[in-house]
Structure 1
Amino acid sequence: MTRLPWKTPQEVRNRVLELAVSRTDPEVSVKEIVENAERNLANETQVFALCGAKDADRTQFEEIVKPLRRLISDSNLAVDRLMMEMIGSGSWIGFGRRHMDAGEEVIPNRYWPFLVLNIKEARAIGEGIEFRGVRFLTYGEIPHDHSVRDRIRAANKLPDRDREASKPVQNPVSPIKNGGRRGRKKVADWDAYYLAFKTKIAADGFPDELNDVGWNKQADVERWVTDLLEREGYSAANSTVRGHVVAFLERARSEIQN
Structure 2
Amino acid sequence: MFSFSDISYGYTDKLSLDAINLSIQKNEFVCLLGPNGSGKSTLFKLLNGLIFPSKGNYIYNGTLINAQFFKNSMSAKKFHQQIGFVFQNSDVQLFNTTVYDEIAFGPRQMGLSEIEVITRVSDCLNLLNIKQLETRTPYHLSGGEKKLVAIASVLSLNPDVLILDEPLTGLTVQAQETIISIIKELHRAGKTIVMSTHNFNQIKNHPTRFIEFSENHTIILDKPAEIVLRDSNLTNHLALM
TM-score (norm 2): 0.29
- The structure, 1 or 2, with the larger RCO (C-alpha pairs under 8 Å, 6+ apart) is 2
Higher helix share: 1
TM-score (norm 1): 0.28
Structure having the higher Rg: 1
Higher strand share: 2
